[in-house]
Chains A and B, each alone.
Chain A
Amino acid sequence: MTEQVRLDVLPYGDRALLVEVGDTPNVVAYVDALRAAEVPGVADVIPAAETVLVVAEPGSPVGALRSALLGIRPDPSADASSDEGDVVEIPVRYDGPDLADVAELTGLSERDVVDAHTGSTWRVAFGGFAPGFGYLVGGDPRLHVARRTSARTAVPAGAVGLAGEYTGVYPRESPGGWQLIGTTEAPMWDLDRDPPALLRPGARIRFTEVGS
């Protein structure tokens, strides 16, 4: 059974179109379907929280692209955690300063929070906050928590956090308001590596627990 995703294509200048797909799991499904369809004339695809910005190749009219984008049929029931493709494993020490708060907010024990976080395969939905940062979705819905009421001025690189339906890893020290549950030593961003980002849109991610 597949539920039809409602698509809307909005103007975005003479070189791009903004596709509204509703929510982040639909973004992941739409980008999967768009890549599979190999639509000609597409130069770049920039997924975000509820939309996908599609940039046309120079000389490729956006009018023609518009109908092609409306014709893409994403299948959100193709589970975000399906086993296709390689899974990137990220070892995490679950020692974050907000682990107890997350347990309280979710009504789970700290042990359950860790088990829930490591218990499913996440997908990278989109990036954009900083080079190498990815918003991951598809995890255990019991982990949905609000951001912290006040943001920290400095979150260390490698901090693993939760916010809303997302989990993510800070690629470098930056301000941030996510609930921090752990730390990883896996470098998220390394310009001497190809590709430099560990988390790329579409990638499948599994967190594993390492002892402290």
Chain B
Amino acid sequence: MTVRLRVRAPGPLSVIEDLGRHGTSGIGVGRSGAADRASLRQANRAVANPEGAAAVEVTLGGLELEAVGGPALLCVTGAPCPVTVDGRDVGAYCVFPVPEGSVVRLGPATAGLRSYVAVRGGLDVPEVLGSRSHDVMAGLGPAPLREGDELPVGAAGTAYPVVDSLPPPSFDGPVVLRAVRGPRDGWVKDPDLLVTTEWTASDKTNRVGMRLLGAELEPVDARRQLPSEGAYRGAVQVPPSGEPVVFLADHPVTGGYPVVAVVVDEDVDRAAQVRPGQALTFRWVEAP
């Protein structure tokens, strides 16, 4: 019998993610994948998986998993949170064994928004269009975890984990996202408001995007409509309300509102860890 992780409690939202889909945007299905790809890669490396193995993305903690059918080797990265095995504290950013029948539990994240639970061998759920990622927007991939789900663990590779613990990145302190101006900065009266405003992430934030409060980017001409354009992760789109939205992993493939700036790819991972209510700013950078 293969090893499985049985979901005893899913927390507010736990989904399976890898690094997403390739080449499906033409048929209306976006990239998807982990909202914070750097943390997913880090968790997978720690347990000697390929970087893009499927893992659990846990929003705000609360996940409980039981090892069934054998032991499992896990690591939790991303938003730091208390991690216990049968009540014993093991901590995030550590590689730890979960004996058969033992329960690993993630407490509420102390900073950041999304934690990643990688298991050695990866989660071997069926692929959809070449990926094991749940995509909120397209409505495909493995469904969000529910109590009682059993997640099969894949076969471990020949590589072995080489570290017991990892240096956790800091999720405290001010969030400054680097952004490249354009392509449609000319569609709002004052695009520099983006970098001169202290924004607050609204509670209308999910895997599709993060809406920002703090100022209104007024259109130059409210009646002018932009024909649909392709979109990409990190795009800062300005709907008629003037409140910008930063596109995250499950963004629509095309959008009809002007994109006034695009966050540098690496910084989109940081954006995905911003909590509702948290402050953030932007800084202009030149396109490379």
Contact = CB atoms under 8 A, between A and B. Distances in A.
B26 A127 contact: yes
Given A14-B180, A44-B23, A53 B265 contact: no
Contacts of A132: 27-28
- What DSSP secondary structure best describes chain B's contact surface? loop
B262 A13 contact: yes
A69 B142 CA distance: 37
Nearest to A66: B287
B288 A14 contact: yes
A103 interface: no
A195 interface: yes
Interface stretch (B57-65, B148-156, B195-203, B229-237): B229-237
A80 B229 CA distance: 21
B181 A44 contact: no
A49 B259 CA distance: 15
B251 to A, nearest CB: 11
B227 A48 contact: yes
Contacts of B182: 10-12
A18 interface: yes
B252 interface: yes
Interface in B114-165: 128-129, 138-140
Given A18-B229, A48-B229, A200 B27 contact: yes
A181 interface: no
A119 interface: no
A191 B288 contact: no
Interface string B177-216: 0011111100000000000000000000000000000000
Interface residues on B, range: 35 or more
B27 A196 contact: yes
B287 A127 contact: no
Interface residues of A, number: 38
Given A50-B227, A128-B228, A128-B253, A13 B28 contact: no
B176 interface: no
Interface in B49-86: none
A139 B86 CA distance: 66
A16 interface: yes
A46 B265 contact: no
A118 B286 CA distance: 49
A55 B259 CA distance: 16
A18 B287 contact: no
A43 B234 CA distance: 16
Contact of A51 (B29, B140, B229, B234): B229
Given A13-B235, A49-B228, 5 more contacts: A11-B181, A12-B180, A15-B232, A131-B29, A197-B28
| Pairs of residues from A and B, 9 with the lowest C-beta to C-beta distance, nearest first | A53-B230, A13-B262, A46-B230, A128-B254, A49-B227, A10-B183, A197-B27, A11-B182, A131-B28
Interface of B: 22-23, 25-29, 128-129, 138-140, 179-184, 227-232, 234-235, 252-254, 259, 262-265, 287-288
18 contacts: A12-B235, A13-B234, A14-B264, A46-B25, A52-B230, A53-B231, A55-B232, A61-B288, A62-B287, A63-B288, A127-B254, A128-B253, A129-B28, A130-B28, A131-B29, A191-B140, A196-B27, A196-B129
Interface of A: 10-16, 18, 43-53, 55, 61-63, 126-133, 191, 195-197, 199-201
